Structure 1
Amino acid sequence: MSGATVDIERHKRHILLKEIGGPGVQKLRGAALSMVGAGALGGPCALYLAAAGVGRLEIWDDDVVDRSNLQRQVQFGEGDVGQPKAETLASKLQAAHPDTQVSWHRHRWSESHPLAGDILIDASDNFPTRYALNAAAHASRRALVHGAAAGWSGQVSVFTSGLKPGAPCYRCWVPETPPDAEACDEVGVVGAMTGMVGAAMALETVKLITGAGAPLIGRILLMDGLAGVQRTVKLKADASCSTCGSIHAD
């Protein structure tokens, strides 16, 4: 950050919160995050995290901006069509929030790629990547902030199976790819729902970094946009889980 006066002015609304305060702002400044996905979920999530003053943000995405993305990926505009998502998002974040160090990778993340962040953020749109990120988070003892959206529905959770005894991982919740799973470009989705999920993911990440409140560990927040309701469901660790089951077995 450029100076104490600017810091206080920019972040005073967080400083005023007793759950964050000055120490929490400093924790945000020292945080390093890795986010996979720069689209409908990753965009709003990254915008809020950079605005909160996170120190370092690593972005992975191999896609380019398509006009069909503009209905929900509010970080992009007409002038960005055809441009790589990771680089374009990183450039906009850096311009708006120069105190956040943003790095980007213009290729699909896989298990062979190391992740620099202390917290991992799953803003992907497919099950293979979700499972791979979940396994990486568990093996490296890092928290995984997960979000997903389709149609009028969304979900958000935090998985810490490698960190917290008894905590479930993503595969405890979804053991195998659902038989009716469809590709992202084959289903409709309400743009505002992806924004809600992305913002909730950023909120959970801020809570993890600052120690504020109760993150969604062992719980999943389910959003129903059509009915206008949200509910939280408790998740249990599965002793037969192929990712984390061995640590839960008696």
Structure 2
Amino acid sequence: MALTPQQLERHKRHILLKEIGGPGVQKLLDARVSIIGAGALGGPCAMYLAAAGVGEIELWDSDIVDRSNLQRQVQFTEQDVGQSKTARLASRLKAAAPDCRVIERNRRWNEACKLSGSILIDATDNFETRFALNQAAHALGRYLVSGAATRWSGQVSVFASGVRKGAPCYQCFVPGMPPEAEACEDVGVVGPVTGIVASHMALETLKLITGAGRPLIGQIGIVDGLTGITRTVKLNQDTDCPVCSA
């Protein structure tokens, strides 16, 4: 389907990029993603994806906006406090990108819930959900874009064990529940680091959809906010992994 004049104007900066062009924009318009978590990672990530022309975004989150969120969840305002995160984020996305179909799931995702996206985005803050999402992505043969941030650091990766033979999954990276797992509400997190991670998650998703560049499959991108240093480390498949090596 040919792009409309409005779409050509809106996406011309992407069309000018040889790695995306008109065909890549069309792929974005046809794409469906599921974002689990509408907070500091999922919110900005969703905003970038909607602005880029992603055709359908499914949002999962059961929380309401709290005033303590506003330091890092820049998709919300003071007027949103006390309201559903998915509802307020969906309204923001529709206003910014009317062509984007937004599906609100005002509930916490679990393994019994179906996911509409062909790409899954893990923007959660607990390991139980991360492990379940990883298992779902592997079983369904879908890419899993994963990000996390705490204190002054963050990380992002693409897990593709269900798509590419020999690719590691999230549980190759984190085999089990860390004994001293920390939540940002307990230890704090600097706002811009969550923005950096969220933007990188959106970037990896755009690369997967359009085929541009080389996604972070088999690699973990690490951000150190205190030093400004970013680096990548290689991640191999764990031959004893109960998810992807069974």
TM-score, normalised by the number of residues in structure 2: 0.98
Counterpart position of 2:212: 212
Deviation, structure 1 residue 184:
3.3
The 2-side partners of 1:113 and 1:178 are apart by 25
Counterpart position of 1:66: 66
Partner secondary structure for residue 242 of structure 1: coil
Deviation, structure 1 residue 3:
6.1
Partner secondary structure for residue 88 of structure 1: helix
The 1-side partners of 2:50 and 2:4 are apart by 18
- 8 Å Cα contact 1:34/1:121 also seen in 2: yes
- 8 Å Cα contact 2:150/2:183 also seen in 1: no
Distance 1:238 1:102, change over 3 A: same
The 2-side partners of 1:173 and 1:232 are apart by 13
Counterpart position of 2:52: 52
Amino acid in the other structure paired with 2:20:
I
Deviation, structure 1 residue 121:
0.3
The 1-side partners of 2:92 and 2:223 are apart by 29
The 2-side partners of 1:96 and 1:10 are apart by 11
Deviation, structure 1 residue 117:
0.4
The 2-side partners of 1:127 and 1:65 are apart by 22
Equivalent positions of 1:223-242 (< 5 A) are: 223-242=223-242
Amino acid in the other structure paired with 1:4:
T
The 2-side partners of 1:115 and 1:223 are apart by 29
TM-score, normalised by the number of residues in structure 1: 0.97
The 2-side partners of 1:2 and 1:93 are apart by 23
Q: Deviations over 1:184-234 (max 9, x none)?
A: 311210000000000000000000000000000000100001011000001
The 2-side partners of 1:31 and 1:83 are apart by 28
Counterpart position of 1:101: 101
**Structure 2: gaps (5+ residues):** none
Equivalent positions of 1:163-182 (< 5 A) are: 163-182=163-182
- 8 Å Cα contact 1:34/1:59 also seen in 2: yes
Counterpart position of 1:33: 33
Counterpart position of 1:154: 154
Count of residues in correspondence between the two structures:
246
Deviation, structure 1 residue 182:
2.0
- 8 Å Cα contact 1:173/1:235 also seen in 2: yes
The 2-side partners of 1:7 and 1:53 are apart by 9
The 2-side partners of 1:127 and 1:221 are apart by 19
In the alignment, structure 1 residue 193 sits paired with structure 2 residue 206: no
The 2-side partners of 1:15 and 1:3 are apart by 11
**Structure 1: gaps (5+ residues):** none
Deviation, structure 1 residue 21:
0.2
Counterpart position of 1:134: 134
- 8 Å Cα contact 1:32/1:54 also seen in 2: yes
Identical residues among aligned pairs (%): 65
The 1-side partners of 2:187 and 2:2 are apart by 44
The 1-side partners of 2:96 and 2:2 are apart by 14
The 1-side partners of 2:70 and 2:217 are apart by 32
Counterpart position of 1:114: 114
The 2-side partners of 1:142 and 1:237 are apart by 17
Amino acid in the other structure paired with 2:173:
W
- Superposition CA RMSD, Å: 1.2
Partner secondary structure for residue 245 of structure 1: coil
In the alignment, structure 1 residue 16 sits paired with structure 2 residue 40: no
